[in-house]
């Protein structure tokens, strides 16, 4: 028994050392079927991409054994990677066809950006915590994603030099829809965003002709707040 325990401990340590999760494709597939499809997300492109995306790669080593579980996980700097179902739901609500230029606010671990990348043409993602922006940019590059641009900055400003966007996804909750994000959306484009402070709701907002919006509430959600920078962030464009 003692030997078995030491053996298991050794396996665990080796796995952690190399950041590996055994059979991750199988785990990702079970995650998609039991957590995402089972709750009604039916967009096959999104489901297939989530089966093929190594979620554990975006998670600190000590949390990797939980990478495919049905809950959000800490990623450091008091931030979290969203629950897989929420990633699947929000991605499917964007209704991507493959040609889009997408803006994400709140890069965090980089996982949501990795899910968006094969479903669109280009992903621009902004993160306010410098260390997270740097870490996820490196991770995405190491994993071979070459259509994702990560910027350290304030998401409330959007990315004016790259606007307009076909789709915008916000993964931190502002108290109200940030006007610049709506401005930087194309007519016909969709903005998927959690809005509120204590009570938050996930909204899908479509930009109509004449700068009007169509707003649809999806479900109540719980995201970290979308914050303002403590000090101005230098523009790196």
Question: Phi then psi for 195, rounded to 5 degrees?
Answer: -125, 135
CA distances from 183 to 96, 160, 168, 180, 229 (A): 20, 9, 11, 5, 21
Residue from 29, 34, 42, 82 carrying the catalytic annotation:
82
Residue identified by tokens 């910027």 is: 151
Instruction: Report the residue from 137, 154, 190, 205 that binds ligand SAH according to the rule CB under 6 A.
Output: 154
Instruction: Report the residue from 35, 79, 91, 200 that binds ligand SAH according to the rule CB under 6 A.
Output: 79
Is residue 197 part of the annotated active site? The answer reads no
**Binding characters for ligand SAH, 159-178, by CB under 6 A (x = yes):** ------------xx------
The candidate with the shortest Cα–Cα distance to 195, out of 183, 205, 203, is 203
The pairs formed by 142-145 with CB atoms below 8 angstroms and a separation of 24 or more are 143/54, 143/57, 143/114, 145/113, 145/114, 145/117
Does position 182 bind ligand SAH by CB under 6 A?
no
Closer CB to ligand SAH, residue 10 or residue 130? 130
**Binding characters for ligand SAH, 210-229, by CB under 6 A (x = yes):** --------------x-xx--
In the region spanning residues 15 to 54, those forming contacts with ligand SAH, defined by CB under 6 A, are: none
Under 8 Å between Cβ of 102 and 166? yes
Does position 155 bind ligand SAH by CB under 6 A?
yes
Q: Is 108 left (phi over 0), alpha (psi -120 to 50) or beta?
A: left
Pairing state of beta strands 185-196 and 165-170?
parallel
Closer CB to ligand SAH, residue 127 or residue 166? 127
Closer CB to ligand SAH, residue 126 or residue 209? 126
Binding site for ligand SAH (CB under 6 A): 79-82, 105-106, 108-109, 111-112, 126-129, 132, 154-156, 171-172, 224, 226-227
Q: Which residues are catalytic?
A: 82
């Amino acid at each position: 028994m003692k030997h078995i325990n030491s053996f298991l401990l050794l396996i665990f340590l080796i796995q952690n050392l190399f950041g590996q999760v055994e059979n991750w494709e199988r785990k990702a597939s079970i995650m998609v079927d039991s957590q995402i499809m089972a709750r009604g997300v039916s967009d096959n492109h999104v489901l297939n991409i989530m089966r093929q995306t190594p979620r554990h790669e975006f998670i600190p080593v000590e949390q990797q054994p939980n990478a495919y579980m049905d809950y959000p996980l800490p990623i450091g700097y008091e931030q979290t990677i969203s629950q897989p179902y929420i990633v699947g739901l929000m991605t499917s609500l964007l209704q991507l066809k493959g040609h889009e230029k997408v803006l994400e606010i709140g890069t965090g671990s980089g996982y949501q950006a990795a899910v968006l990348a094969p479903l669109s043409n280009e992903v621009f993602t902004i993160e306010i915590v410098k260390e997270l922006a740097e870490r996820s940019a490196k991770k995405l590059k190491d994993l071979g994603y070459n259509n994702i641009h990560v910027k350290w900055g304030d998401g409330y400003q959007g990315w004016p030099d790259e606007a307009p966007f076909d789709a915008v996804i916000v993964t931190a909750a502002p108290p109200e829809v940030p006007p610049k994000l709506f401005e930087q959306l194309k007519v016909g484009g969709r903005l998927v965003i959690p809005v509120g402070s204590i009570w938050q709701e996930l909204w899908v907002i479509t930009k109509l002709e004449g700068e009007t919006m169509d707003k649809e509430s999806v479900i109540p959600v719980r995201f970290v707040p979308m914050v303002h920078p403590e000090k101005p962030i230098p523009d790196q464009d």
